[in-house]
Amino acid sequence: MKLISYYIPIVFLISACSTKKDHTRAVIKNITVSLYASANVKATDQYTVTSTVPGIVKQINVNPGDLVKAGEILFVLENREAVLNAANARQALDFTTSNSRASSERLQEAIYQVQVAKEKYQLDSAFYYRQKILWEQNIGTRLDFDQRHLAFTTSAINYDAANKSLAQLKKQLKNDLELSKINYSISKKRQTDYLIKSEIDGKVFDVIKNKGELITTQTTLCVLGKPDQFYLEMNVDEKDIIKINLSQRVEITMDSYQGQSFSGRVSKIYPIMDERSRTFKVEAVFLNPPGKLYPNLTAEVNIIVSVKKNAMLIPRNYLDKNNCVWLKGDIKKKVITGVQDEKNVEILHGLDTQETIYKPD
């Protein structure tokens, strides 16, 4: 009797341990193949506002949350030097303009010199050709002919020089005036560089700098973007980029909306790889966006690459690291796997739906 009383509990214990071990069977169902990527929420047309000139922040006209129009002045920088430069350029332009008008006397004088040289040339030319005819008739002396020829040649040179001098004077006066106008325009434009304006109709998401701070052309002043238009920006590894296509569906989860899932689609693929991270930048838009979104919120995205129908699936945690499953009696069986998702893996060969498998220890 004692032997029997000990035997029964032992059998029961072994049986209980065996039934408690997790087990399942393969099932036939569809599996969605996707690529995972972490993402950040960005506002449409989002950009960081910088200055084209260094300076000191004199005035701040916006606060975080403000709506602004394109061309609206966001920041004013100290521009005392620019104002002085513009004033100097204005004085230089006025002087050049005045000088240009006064130099009409110089032009008249140059024109007069051309006229005198022309008349002298015409007179010496007439004397020369008359003397030449006489010389060909053996009338007159060689000295008379040479003197007329020298006077004619000298007059021709002087006439040509007078014309060139007049043309040069006109060109110089015109260039001086144009240069003064350009310098003044540049100085005026330089003044406007100290007024930092919005490039878009949008919302001020953040103001980085304070009044009185020194900035450079690399300093971020604030962040702007569209107030109600957002997209997702993610980085996809180079080994996966060939699987990504425009308009592919994406499933989105966010820490800000735990327990909820949102759908979207791939909207843009940048055709160049970041050499440092070996990734490609990919953008996606929401098809059913949540009620509230903010720039730089984080998200997890599954890009749907394909859907395989009627695949044989088992839970991923029932497959050990050697691609084996465990059958009854601790029998280890090698299988060939296919695609997988977060929970399941496809079995191509080595198992059927009638075999029970056990979760590896």
pLDDT in tens, 178-224: 787 777 677 666 777 888 999 999 999 999 999 999 889 899 999 99
Q: What pLDDT was estimated at residue 108?
A: 81
pLDDT reading at 136 higher than 60: yes
Question: 69 and 85: one domain?
Answer: no
| Residue 227 CB-density burial (10 A; 0-12 exposed, 13-18 middle, 19+ buried) | middle
Residues 187 and 163 in one domain: yes
Per the domain annotation, does 127 fall within a domain? yes
DSSP 25-36: E-EEEEEEEEEE
Average pLDDT over residues 330-341: 88
Nearest to 163 by CA among 232, 229, 112, 106: 112
User: 102 and 145 share a domain?
Assistant: yes
User: Is the confidence at residue 33, as pLDDT, over 90?
Assistant: no
Asked whether residue 209 falls in the same domain as residue 72, the answer is: yes
d(CA 56, CA 314): 65
Residues 229 and 276 in one domain: yes
In a domain, 274, yes or no: yes
Q: Which residue has the higher pLDDT, 102 or 256?
A: 256
Is residue 18 pLDDT above 60, yes or no?
A: no
Handedness of CA 169, 170, 172, 173 (dihedral sign): positive
Per-chain mean pLDDT for the chain: 85
Q: Are residues 90 and 181 in the same domain?
A: yes
CATH number at residue 352: 2.40.420.20
With respect to residue 3, please indicate whether it lies within any of the assigned structural domains: no
The verdict on residue 5 lying in a domain is no
Strands laid side by side in the 214-215 sheet: 195-197, 73-77, 55-60, 214-215
Q: Quick one: average pLDDT of 237-258?
A: 94
pLDDT average, residue stretch 278-290: 95
Total domains, the chain = 4
- Does residue 117 sit within a domain? yes
Mean pLDDT (whole number) for 86-98? 67
Res 128: pLDDT: 86
Distances (CA, A) of 76 to 52, 61, 184, 185, 258: 12, 8, 21, 20, 43
Any domain includes 1: no
List the CATH number of the domain containing 211: 2.40.50.100
Of 192, 215, 246, the position where a domain reaches its end is 192
pLDDT value for 5: 36
Same domain, 53 and 110: no
Q: Are residues 142 and 124 in the same domain?
A: yes
Is pLDDT above 80 for 104? Answer: no
Of residues 85 and 348, more confidently modeled? 348
| pLDDT above 60: residue 249 | yes
Q: Which of 7-21, 91-105, 118-132, 281-295 has the highest mean pLDDT?
A: 281-295
Q: Are both 160 and 187 inside the same structural domain?
A: yes
User: Do both 98 and 180 map to the same domain?
Assistant: yes
Domain membership of residue 278 (yes or no) is yes
pTM to 2 decimal places: 0.61
pLDDT digit string, tens, across residues 45-58: 999 999 988 888 99
Distance CA 43, CA 344 (A): 35
The answer to whether residue 103 sits within a structural domain is yes
Instruction: Indicate the pLDDT class of residue 103, thresholds 50, 70 and 90.
Output: low
Q: Which residue has the tokens 């709506």?
A: 67
Q: What is the pLDDT confidence band of residue 145, given thresholds at 50, 70 and 90?
A: confident
One domain, residues 56 and 200? yes
The helix/strand/coil state of 336 is: strand
Same domain, 229 and 249: yes
- Cα distance between residue 185 and residue 169, in whole Å: 24
Q: Which of 9-18, 167-176, 299-308 shows the lowest per-residue confidence on average (mean pLDDT)?
A: 9-18
Average pLDDT over residues 63-83: 86
Residue scoring higher pLDDT (130 or 82): 130
pLDDT tens figures, 154-163: 999 999 998 9
> How would residue 11 be classed by pLDDT, with cut points 50, 70 and 90?
very low
The range of the structural domain enclosing residue 60 comes to 47-78+194-223
